[in-house]
Amino acid sequence: MYALTGVTKRFTKGRKEVRALDGVDLSIGDGDWLAIQGPTGHGKTTLLQLLGALDRPTSGSVVFDGDDLAKLSERRLAAVRARSFGFVFQFFNLIPTLTAQENVETALVPLKVSAKARRERAATALADVGLADRSGHLPAELSGGQQQRVAIARALVTEPAVLLADEPTGNLDEDTRDEIIGLLEGLWKDRGLTLITVTHDSTVARRAPRIAWISKGRVSLRKDDRRVQRPRRATRKGTDGEAPPKGDDGATVPKSAGGASPVTDGTTEEETAAE
Amino acid sequence: MFLTYLRRELRRRRRQAIVVALGLALGIGLTVTVTALSSGVQSAQQSVLHSLYGVGTDISVTQQADRGSGGPQRFDVQRQRGSDQNRKSFSTDRVTAGIGLQSFGAATVAKIAKQPHVSAAAGGLSLTDVKVNGKFAQQQGQEGQGGPGRGGFGSGGSGGNPGAAPSQPPINVDTFSIEGVDLSAPGVGPLSSVDVSTGRSFTAADAKAKVAVLASGFAKQRGLTKGKTLTISGTKFTVVGVVSGGGQSTDVYLPLAAAQSLADQAGKVTTIYVKATSASAVDAARAEVKKVLPKATVTSSADLAGAVSGSLSGAASLAGNLGRWLAVVVLVAAFVTAALFTVSAVSRRVREFGTLKALGWRTRRIVGQVLGEALVQGVLGGVIGIALGFLGTYLVNRLAPALTATVANGATGGGAGGHGGTGGPGGGRFGGGFARAAQHTVEVHLAASVTIGMVVLAVALAIAGGLIAGGFGGWRAARLRPADALRRVD
Ligand SMILES: Nc1ncnc2c1ncn2[C@@H]1O[C@H](COP(=O)(O)OP(=O)(O)O)[C@@H](O)[C@H]1O
Ligand SMILES: [Mg+2]
């Protein structure tokens, strides 16, 4: 589904140059759930933007279904975003003046769906996230968890191949966080979509079968068995004190919503070297 | 979706939308008012000009009499009929042709009418009726002793010298102006511009009749109405109509033949009213007239407009300069404000638009949304602006004082412009001031009105304002990177 090779993204802030991504190689298979974990400011969002065709890399290629997203025209990119990707944002990003139902409908606008079909599909999507009774509410009238559900309904209403979520639980309390993660997990399983979640929170990342650790713009993961390891640099410098992801067998993520993946401490230097 | 979204956004930013709309409304309203005002002033100017020699008239021709020959009439109290020197009282009623004006014959009129760029020419005879009655003080008022006049008892004349020994009151002097109208050329001449208030204007059938049409002001002053009789120098005329808007310089209109016989000026006219074949032919026609009558004063509307002064021309320049500039400044300020507000609103919606881009919305659609919102504000501003324009115009009409227009000497087609200063002692002659005020002042009421054209202008401005504001906002929105959606935290 995705093949990233030598992806670099630089930003210039005044005279200073920031290397948000620094030679990322990554491949993501159809139907995968990849969690991108790493400390704040280390390039997670930047990577997700490149995966979601919201931005272009400075160099390298982001190949999605055979197309290099770096080279597509702005128009084609808009079409790819509309058809293939669904986004969930940390701050929900709902249009404040539109009702839940209308917010979900906005995703169908570029697809030229008839108004009637748009309404029906949006209502179904809202029902799927358990908010059928809130369709007429404005975002301000909904709790954070409910708003994120609306955002998830909006992301899924187009039946995208990939669901991209940037810190989807970053703005939620713990109970709601589990609820939303459970919802995403259920959708991933039921719909066979590719799910990419970005988080700095290891309790969230742990739920994913595969974790990519990102630090200072570099991604490291064990490709063979989807084990994830903490990169050397992060360990050494203890960039943000985040508990490192575990070398747990990601393939056996418990299907029960409540259960967390078993955690094994002490990812070794050797494991990182193996990468 | 487009409309729902647009409506919701405008409602959310209601206050800002209202500020933008009101700003545009102010600019548009002011523009409409100023435009209405200046067209009102223009039409007032037109009506002043028309009142002087008619709508259809492009050129008027008069000619000064050779100096020394004087006017055709002398005014000599001692020889007036009806006076009785023995009783030391007198009463006269004399009609004089425009003193100091050369008269033209019918042949001249016909010749001018035949010029290639002239479509019609009509003669007009400007007369003044003077009724004087009163008593002489003893041993005064003898011929050669200064006559009865303080030369200025015509209106505004500056020519007459005071008599050496002013007679004592009461002497009643009553003058009114008469215009003999050529009925064979109905489209040209002083009656072509009047509005009939009561009765009728002349028809061709009146050419030989003893009928009169009165200016409304004169009719009112004299208590004359349709059907009544006006006696001029012993001849009775039946009033057939009262007109307004015509020459306020003329009190009584008579058929040309009747006027000529009153003044013993058979076949003579003092003014020739000329209509050119087209507006662009006026200059050519003028040159042709000048060729036929080299010594004549040939006046076209353009000359006359330049000679109009007074508060009317003050209003014209006010509306033309100050008003226009004010409207332009306010409009520009409104446009800039609208654009700034829209751009800042877009900037505050970076995340929102970025999100929509992330959802696959094309830039075009987002720009369209911004433009749509701005256009609605513009149109709202336009509607309020048109209302303000109507209100402003109404207020201008209500509050504007009556404007006066003064047409300088020599420019009036109506036959002013006698040479003053001939009323020397002993002559008993009156200068031009007696024939007609050398300066002619007309009072006009400003009637500014909002026309369809102005409404169209307002709508165009409103749309332009919306497009400009929306254009800037859209430009800002188009430059947003969708990546900002995930980055920007409001
Ligand atoms: N538009 C931008 N301009 C300049 N620097 C940026 C921009 N976007 C991101 N960065 C920088 O790139 C780095 C990675 O940012 P980001 O991908 O948002 O990190 P994360 O999501 O992991 O917190 C940070 O140092 C950030 O400051
Ligand atoms: Mg981030």
Q: Does B487 touch chain A (CB under 8 A)?
A: yes
Hey, which of B487, B488, B489 would you mutate to test ligand 1's pocket, going by the most ligand atoms within 8 Å of its Cβ?
B487
Residue where the block lists tokens 């209106």: B155
Q: Which chain residues have CB less than 5 Å from ligand 2, an ion?
A: A 45
**CATH assignment at residue A196:** 3.40.50.300
Using the predicted structure, report yes or no on whether residue A124 has a pLDDT greater than 60.
yes
Residue where the block lists tokens 């009643």: B172
Contacts of A14-23 with C-beta under 8 Å, sequence gap 24+, read: A19/A216, A19/A217, A20/A46, A20/A217, A21/A46, A21/A47, A21/A50, A21/A57, A21/A217, A22/A216, A22/A217, A22/A218, A23/A60, A23/A218
Distance between CA atoms of residues A105 and A93, nearest Å:
14
* Beta pairing, strands A194-199 & A210-215: unpaired
Mean pLDDT rounded to a whole number for chain B: 76
pLDDT in tens, A14-55: 888 999 999 999 999 999 999 999 998 899 999 999 999 999
Task: List chain B domain ranges.
Answer: 2-45+313-400+447-487, 64-295
pLDDT in tens, B186-195: 778 777 767 7
Amino acid letter, residue B151: G
Q: Answer yes or no: do B482 and A55 touch at CB < 8 A.
A: yes
Distance between CA atoms of residues B288 and B272, nearest Å:
13
Q: Answer yes or no: do A97 and B487 touch at CB < 8 A.
A: no
The tokens describing A199, both together, are: 């988080």
Q: Point out the residue among A55, A78, A85 whose CB comes nearest to the CB of B483.
A: A55
Q: Print the domain residue range for A59.
A: 2-224
B38 with B318: CB under 8 angstroms? Answer: no
Using the predicted structure, report yes or no on whether residue B382 has a pLDDT greater than 90.
yes
Report which bound ligand comes closest to the CA of A8. Answer: 1
pLDDT of residue A33: 94
Report which bound ligand comes closest to the CA of A170. Answer: 2
Mean pLDDT rounded to a whole number for chain A: 82
Q: Which atom of ligand 1 is nearest to the CA of A42?
A: 22
On chain B, the residues whose CB falls within 8 A of the CB of A81 are 357-360, 482
- Residue to substitute from A106, A147, A148, A162, interface B, most B β-carbons within 10 A: A106
Q: Point out the residue among A78, A85, A102 whose CB comes nearest to the CB of B362.
A: A78
Q: Is the pTM here over 0.95, yes or no?
A: no
Q: Point out the residue among B361, B481, B483 whose CB comes nearest to the CB of A110.
A: B361
Q: How far is the CA of A50 from the centre of ligand 1 (A)?
A: 12
Q: Does A109 touch chain B (CB under 8 A)?
A: yes
Strand partners, B407: B308, B440
Closest CA to B465 of B402, B361, B345, B373: B373
Q: Does B486 touch chain A (CB under 8 A)?
A: yes
Q: How far lies A34's CA from each of A69, A213, B358, in Å?
A: 19, 10, 20
Q: Name the band, by pLDDT with cuts 50, 70 and 90, for residue B445.
A: confident
Hey, which of A7, A37, A42, A46 would you mutate to test ligand 1's pocket, going by the most ligand atoms within 8 Å of its Cβ?
A46
On chain A, the residues whose CB falls within 8 A of the CB of B479 are none
Q: Answer yes or no: do A54 and B359 touch at CB < 8 A.
A: no
Q: Name the band, by pLDDT with cuts 50, 70 and 90, for residue B467.
A: very high
Distance between CA atoms of residues B408 and B412, nearest Å:
7
Residue where the block lists tokens 């954070």: A144
- Residue to substitute from A84, A101, A109, interface B, most B β-carbons within 10 A: A109
pLDDT of residue B309: 64
Domain assignment present for A166: yes
Among B150-159, B262-271, B355-364, the range of highest mean pLDDT = B355-364
Number of domains in chain A: 1
Q: How far is the CA of B52 from the centre of ligand 1 (A)?
A: 81
B406 with B440: CB under 8 angstroms? Answer: yes
Whether the predicted interface score ipTM is above 0.85: no
pLDDT in tens, B245-279: 655 578 899 999 888 888 888 888 888 888 888 77
